[in-house]
Structure 1
Amino acid sequence: MTEAVWTAKILKISSSLADRRAMGYELLKFPDGVIYCLHFIFEATNKERVTKSAFALDQAVRSDLDILKPHKTRFFKALCVIETDPVKRIFAKTLELISFSFLKGSFPLHKPEQELMVSTCFDWLIAPEKVAVKVFAMQCLYNLRNAQNWIIPELTAQLEQHFSEAGPAFQSRARHILKKLKN
């Protein structure tokens, strides 16, 4: 499938869950589409194409994270340039999924990839991001807590610092993580 054909398919989907899932399944059948999606997200020249590519990638990765393994380098390059809220939420969820798989030993990460995940998640946790991004980021940081010895005290400090002014979703996850960190 050519990039032009893939672009046409991507631009046809709506934000409905049914459309996103259908495109995610399409991506699972055509794994080379991951390259196109990550390219569109990285180049960021068309906001609609970026968002819809992220929608498709999100659904595919939730079904089979292994689809991302051959494209880790592209994924981490795209991570460095994302700007819109929906795409940040999708990438934050993907980082959470990657960190869970990394803990199980099924998604290997090099040290620079771990460091990028940690720094990005702390940036999102500290910045005025949407709550879903913060929740996924704090879970990812918890999962990668042993990657560097400063993560646990810094994560604890950030969660405690932001706890009182945060909403219920943030507080719920933070309470859960803080309890684990203190045990």
Structure 2
Amino acid sequence: MTTEALYQELNYVNHSREKRLYYANLIINNPDLLPKLLDIMFMVDNKISPRAAWVLEFMCGKKLNKIIPYLDYFTTNISKIHIDSAVRPVAKICEYLTVALYNKQDNDIKHALTAFHKEKIIEACFDWMINDEKIAPKAYSMNSLFLLGQEYDWIHPELAIILERDYQMQSSGFKARARQILKKIKK
């Protein structure tokens, strides 16, 4: 399938779990489509970009290791994503990566995620925290940054400042997650 054909297929992706799962499985079963999906996702001003992000999120939720060969490309470009409905799944993928990285069990992500990748994830997560994003990307970013802060000692103090500063202005969902993260940081 060409990039153009995949682009046309993504017109059929909607918010339904069924459609996102169908296309995630299509990518899993046809790994040669993954770089094409990433190319479409990084067409950041295109209305199909978020649909590619939704599919990638579902694929990563099922088979996170499939993204390993593309970590350089993914992490280098995540900060360019700006459409709300694409930011959320990309932030979720960053959370998947950091959760896998700090998982007690050995896994391929631990060996594949380099300092460069982590720096790009940190940069994107802090951007999502300080920019006017919806609660979901902020929540995923909080968790990713908390985990990365176990390795990078400067992250927790910076994250705590942002959470405490924004606490009063944010939604109840933000406040609940911020309380959890701040409690963990202060331990």
What range is the shorter-chain TM-score in? over 0.9
Tell me, what secondary structure is at the counterpart of 1:48?
A: coil
Tell me, what secondary structure is at the counterpart of 2:128?
A: helix
Q: Are 2:176 and 1:167 equivalent residues in the alignment? A: no
State the partner residue of 2:16.
Answer: 16
Q: What code does the residue aligned with 2:24 have?
A: G
Structure 2: tracts of 5 or more residues without a match: none
Q: Are 2:183 and 1:179 equivalent residues in the alignment? A: yes
State the partner residue of 1:114.
Answer: 118
Q: What code does the residue aligned with 1:150 have?
A: W
Q: Are 2:145 and 1:141 equivalent residues in the alignment? A: yes
* Alpha carbons 1:92, 1:133 under 8 Å: kept: yes
Q: CA deviation at 1:100?
A: 0.5
Q: CA deviation at 1:178?
A: 0.9
Cα deviation per residue 1:146-165 (whole Å; 9 max; x = unaligned)?
33221111111111111122
- Distance in 2, Cα, partners of 1:149 & 1:136: 19
* Alpha carbons 2:51, 2:86 under 8 Å: kept: no
Structure 1: tracts of 5 or more residues without a match: none
State the partner residue of 1:26.
Answer: 26
Q: CA deviation at 1:3?
A: 2.1
Give me the CA root mean square deviation.
Answer: 1.5
Q: Report how many aligned residue pairs link the two structures.
A: 182
- Distance in 2, Cα, partners of 1:176 & 1:132: 15
After TM superposition, list the pairs within 5 Å mapping 1:13-162 onto structure 2.
Answer: 13-44=13-44, 47-104=46-103, 105-106=106-107, 107=109, 108-162=112-166
Cα deviation per residue 1:70-121 (whole Å; 9 max; x = unaligned)?
1111211330321100111011000001000111253132112111111111
- Distance in 1, Cα, partners of 2:125 & 2:40: 22
Normalized against structure 1, the TM-score is what?
Answer: 0.92
